[in-house]
A and B are shown apart, each in its own frame.
Chain A
Amino acid sequence: MRSKLFAKKTMALTMAALMAMGALAGCGSKSEEPAPAEAPAETGGDQAEAPAESTGEGVTIKFQYWADNTDYSQLMQDIIAKFNAENGKGITVVGEEAPWDGGSYSENLFNAKMGGGDVDVSTWKLTSTPLFVNNDLLADLTPFIDAWDKKDDIDQNMYDVMKQAGGSDSIYVMPWNVQVLYVYYRPSIFEQAQIEVPTTYEEFLTAIEKCTLDTDGDGKTDVYGFGMRGSNGGQEPWGSFVHGRGGSFEDMTTAESIQGMQDFIDIYNKGFVPPSAAGDGFQQIIDNFKSGLTAMTIHHTGSSAQMVETFGDDVSAFPFPAGKGQWTSMGDTETVIFESCENKEAAFEWVAYLAAGEGQKMWCEGTGNVPVSKTVQAGDFFQNDRFMKASIDGQSYAGILPILDTTTEWISTIWPETMSQALTGKLSAEEAMNTLQEELYR
């Protein structure tokens, strides 16, 4: 009896505490509101902040990025240091590294921003744009870009892609670098299999079959024709198969699209790819290629340095060949400025430095990514590299997945799950494609 009474008292007490906490922390219901507490201070503040800069008073920009390895991490620190030393406007960029976390970088960033986090600028993936734009977290960069003297150094097509991602005529995302997927192959294995570099989609399928080899005659496959990415991120190379048959992402349930899916399933079932393919992500396809287990795999210039380190001349690349259609995935990395940033002018100086300034050159040369700046692209470094060449050749038909608010979940969960079921025979090609279509356009 008494305990019941006390329970009531406790409830009352906790409710009081809740209210106190609510007032103190300004959370709970407030957390739904995208605008953090400091937002009012900076509304209409771009001009107001400008004098602070011109008088040489220091402004600090908090920049968050992920690094794909420790070398790139160092490179980014070097670029930041150089910018801080040379910008001459009293801007100090403070770089904060955050884990890529298998792509959860964006969700982690989102949680922090919704909780009122103070990051000003961040590196970016286009796919997260709808989420952030829908919650009014990103700054509209259109006025800054229009006033930018180097605007034309970046192809108009890039800006259009950025606009599409935001779903309006405003540009919320600043181009930085791209990665065009192409096919890596081992010339020595091609020689062994007596084939030439494929020029059509059908030839490519044949090449996969012919490069599946039993080199020591023990009845087991020692070299697989193709390193399939059946797990995370696999939608990119897979998209090339779908388009190779004439299908598209807009309607994945057409006969052509389904045929592309069927090709993908077939090469798995016929044993032309490693049996682990259904669970293979980036790490595995690269490891398998580097250990000589696969003859071909699809990736971009981000891995070309380690390929050359492993194989020297015995590795090369060709653009994904054309069938009824032709498509390759354009991977992307951009930067954004958040609406909560108090010095957007200064922040723009920094993202512009990365997009078309010294930062662009340093980053792309150091990482082997394809620059967006035409001036930088024209440099010797990018003209004389066989992998860059395959990338630049693929640029004309490179594309991205339709960017909707469902895309992130589709990439991280739906596609890999559906694909694993299709490869293990639980779903037919048609059923799998229906699921994929339905979930993307939900």
Chain B
Amino acid sequence: MVKKRSIWPYLLVAPAVLVILCVVFVPVINAILMSFQSYDLRRPKDIGFTGLANYIEALGDAKFQSAFFKTIIWVVAGVGFQFLFGFMLALLLNKSFKGRGVVRAVSMIPWVTPGVLIGLMWSWIYDGNRGVLNDILMKLHLINDKIPFLAQDGTAFPGVIVTIIWQGIPFFALMLLAALQGVSTDMYEAADIDGAVGWQKLFYITIPSIKNTIFVTALLRVIWVANSVDVIFNMTEGRFGTLTMSVYVYQKGNALDLGYASAMAIIMALCLLVVAIPYLRSNFREEG
């Protein structure tokens, strides 16, 4: 570890910082400023400083409150299952078997699929009249009447969550698979000698060895999923109980009520920061 003063680290991070400064710095500052104004481009003559009015309005907005809780479910269920399936897949794909390369390649498909197509394809599968899911369930005699999955309250939210899980599995699978390559085989051999069984090796060797990757990927995914709009928007447009904070922000942003949308976005970013802080603290503490 190098602690002495050196110009090197600054040179190494400079390009990354520069790119970010050039592109998003001004727009983000602009958005923060907008959040303190009545900034509705449909009424440009009324634009003016209003202090915390947007924030107060957002906190009292029943739709925003419900979106807050929806977002928690969306993120916990979405990222949780993505991780679970992704980790399982990574462990499986780390074993050697015939055709592994092909399976690895095709397991990336959900990630390669253009976002434009994902929502539409899944809506087509869930379709209440010609959807294949209804057809399969009817053929299996699990249901008697076709269910409009995305057009009623109880099923729409689970429906979109399944879609985001599907989309996110390859990310975890790939990242964890890469991390698994760094786990030294010596430790497994030592464990074999001690007579450890599969799950013991998993919990005492594998997971501790890649814990940094697990935390980082999970955190990044939480941020990503919390901010994702296109799956929900393409499938239900936020109706039937699927309105998350990011979709609400998107709706308001699209309606060009940018002041209100910015305030909500900042509240959301603060919530995400609260999630990230424990990780950052433990990360920095470990470093000493």
Q: Do A and B come from one complex?
A: yes
Give CA–CA (A14, B146) in the complex, Å.
Answer: 58
Give CA–CA (A275, B42) in the complex, Å.
Answer: 36
B129, B150, B236, B238: the one contacting A274 at CB < 8 Å is: B129
Nearest chain-A residue to B156 (Cβ)? A279
Q: A293 — which chain B residues lie within 8 A by C-beta?
A: 129
Shortest CB–CB separation between residue A209 and chain B, in angstroms? Answer: 20
Give CA–CA (A406, B256) in the complex, Å.
Answer: 10
Determine whether the beta carbon of A114 is less than 8 Å from that of B255.
no
Give CA–CA (A395, B251) in the complex, Å.
Answer: 33
Chain A 129-169, CB-CB to B under 8 Å as 1, else 0, gives: 01100110000000000000000000000000000000000
**In the complex with contacts A110-B256, A131-B256, A405-B43, A277-B151 CB distance below 8 A:** yes
Nearest chain-B residue to A108 (Cβ)? B254
Shortest CB–CB separation between residue A376 and chain B, in angstroms? Answer: 35
- Is A408 an interface residue when CB atoms closer than 8 A count as contact? yes
Q: B25 — which chain A residues lie within 8 A by C-beta?
A: 14, 17-18, 21
Chain B 242-266, CB-CB to A under 8 Å as 1, else 0, gives: 0000000001001111000000000
- Is B148 an interface residue when CB atoms closer than 8 A count as contact? yes
Chain A residues within 8 Å of chain B by Cβ, number: 46
Give CA–CA (A408, B238) in the complex, Å.
Answer: 17
| Chain A contact residues: helix, strand, loop or mixed | helix
Q: A104 — which chain B residues lie within 8 A by C-beta?
A: 254
Shortest CB–CB separation between residue B65 and chain A, in angstroms? Answer: 16
Q: B151 — which chain A residues lie within 8 A by C-beta?
A: 230-231, 275-280, 420
Determine whether the beta carbon of A406 is less than 8 Å from that of B29.
no
Give CA–CA (A402, B169) in the complex, Å.
Answer: 47
**In the complex with contacts A134-B44, A279-B148, A420-B239 CB distance below 8 A:** yes
In this complex, which of B145, B148, B151, B256 has the most chain A Cβ atoms within 10 angstroms of its Cβ?
Answer: B151
- Is A284 an interface residue when CB atoms closer than 8 A count as contact? yes
Determine whether the beta carbon of A21 is less than 8 Å from that of B128.
no
Shortest CB–CB separation between residue B14 and chain A, in angstroms? Answer: 11
Shortest CB–CB separation between residue A53 and chain B, in angstroms? Answer: 33
- Is A328 an interface residue when CB atoms closer than 8 A count as contact? no
| Chain B contact residues: helix, strand, loop or mixed | loop
Chain B 130-149, CB-CB to A under 8 Å as 1, else 0, gives: 10000000000000011110
Give CA–CA (A110, B127) in the complex, Å.
Answer: 33
Q: A28 — which chain B residues lie within 8 A by C-beta?
A: 26, 29-30
Give CA–CA (A34, B130) in the complex, Å.
Answer: 47
B45, B152, B251: the one contacting A424 at CB < 8 Å is: B152
- Is B21 an interface residue when CB atoms closer than 8 A count as contact? yes
Give CA–CA (A134, B44) in the complex, Å.
Answer: 7
Give CA–CA (A32, B33) in the complex, Å.
Answer: 12
Give CA–CA (A136, B107) in the complex, Å.
Answer: 51
Give CA–CA (A29, B29) in the complex, Å.
Answer: 10
B146, B240, B256: the one contacting A279 at CB < 8 Å is: B240
**A67-75, A257-265, A337-345, A410-418: which lies at the interface:** A410-418
Q: A21 — which chain B residues lie within 8 A by C-beta?
A: 21-22, 25-26
Give CA–CA (A104, B253) in the complex, Å.
Answer: 11
- Is A326 an interface residue when CB atoms closer than 8 A count as contact? no
- Is B47 an interface residue when CB atoms closer than 8 A count as contact? yes
- Is A41 an interface residue when CB atoms closer than 8 A count as contact? no
Q: A43 — which chain B residues lie within 8 A by C-beta?
A: none
Chain B residues within 8 Å of chain A by Cβ, number: 36
Q: B152 — which chain A residues lie within 8 A by C-beta?
A: 278-279, 424
Nearest chain-B residue to A131 (Cβ)? B42
Determine whether the beta carbon of A232 is less than 8 Å from that of B237.
yes
In this complex, which of A17, A288, A420 has the most chain B Cβ atoms within 10 angstroms of its Cβ?
Answer: A420
Chain B 1-29, CB-CB to A under 8 Å as 1, else 0, gives: 00000000000000000000110011101
Interface residues of B in 132-179 (CB under 8 A from A): 145-148, 150-153, 156
- Is B280 an interface residue when CB atoms closer than 8 A count as contact? no
Q: A416 — which chain B residues lie within 8 A by C-beta?
A: 237, 239
Q: B256 — which chain A residues lie within 8 A by C-beta?
A: 107, 110, 131
- Is B84 an interface residue when CB atoms closer than 8 A count as contact? no
Interface residues of A in 209-253 (CB under 8 A from B): 220, 230-232
- Is A409 an interface residue when CB atoms closer than 8 A count as contact? yes
Nearest chain-B residue to A274 (Cβ)? B129
Determine whether the beta carbon of A420 is less than 8 Å from that of B26.
no
- Is A98 an interface residue when CB atoms closer than 8 A count as contact? no
Give CA–CA (A284, B239) in the complex, Å.
Answer: 17
Give CA–CA (A232, B42) in the complex, Å.
Answer: 21
Chain A 20-31, CB-CB to B under 8 Å as 1, else 0, gives: 011001011101
Determine whether the beta carbon of B129 is less than 8 Å from that of A408.
no
- Is A96 an interface residue when CB atoms closer than 8 A count as contact? no
Determine whether the beta carbon of A291 is less than 8 Å from that of B129.
yes
Give CA–CA (A294, B145) in the complex, Å.
Answer: 17
Q: B254 — which chain A residues lie within 8 A by C-beta?
A: 104, 107, 412
Determine whether the beta carbon of A18 is less than 8 Å from that of B239.
no
Chain A 268-300, CB-CB to B under 8 Å as 1, else 0, gives: 000000111111100010011001010000000
Shortest CB–CB separation between residue B28 and chain A, in angstroms? Answer: 10
Give CA–CA (A11, B113) in the complex, Å.
Answer: 40
Q: A277 — which chain B residues lie within 8 A by C-beta?
A: 148, 151
Q: A131 — which chain B residues lie within 8 A by C-beta?
A: 41-42, 256
Determine whether the beta carbon of A279 is less than 8 Å from that of B128.
yes
Shortest CB–CB separation between residue A123 and chain B, in angstroms? Answer: 19
Determine whether the beta carbon of B148 is less than 8 Å from that of A276.
yes
**In the complex with contacts A21-B25, A28-B29, A114-B41, A413-B150 CB distance below 8 A:** no
Residues of B within 8 A of A (CB): 21-22, 25-27, 29-30, 41-45, 47, 127-130, 145-148, 150-153, 156, 236-240, 251, 254-257
Residues of A within 8 A of B (CB): 14, 17-18, 21-22, 25, 27-29, 31-32, 34, 104, 107, 110, 114, 130-131, 134-135, 220, 230-232, 274-280, 284, 287-288, 291, 293, 405-406, 408-409, 412-413, 416-417, 420, 424
User: Shortest 3 CB-CB distances between A and B: which pairs?
Assistant: A279-B151, A276-B128, A276-B148
A-B contact pairs, 27 of them (CB 8 A): A14-B21, A14-B25, A17-B21, A17-B25, A18-B29, A22-B26, A25-B26, A27-B27, A27-B30, A131-B256, A134-B41, A232-B237, A274-B128, A275-B146, A275-B148, A276-B129, A278-B151, A279-B156, A279-B239, A284-B129, A287-B130, A405-B42, A405-B43, A408-B42, A409-B251, A416-B239, A417-B238
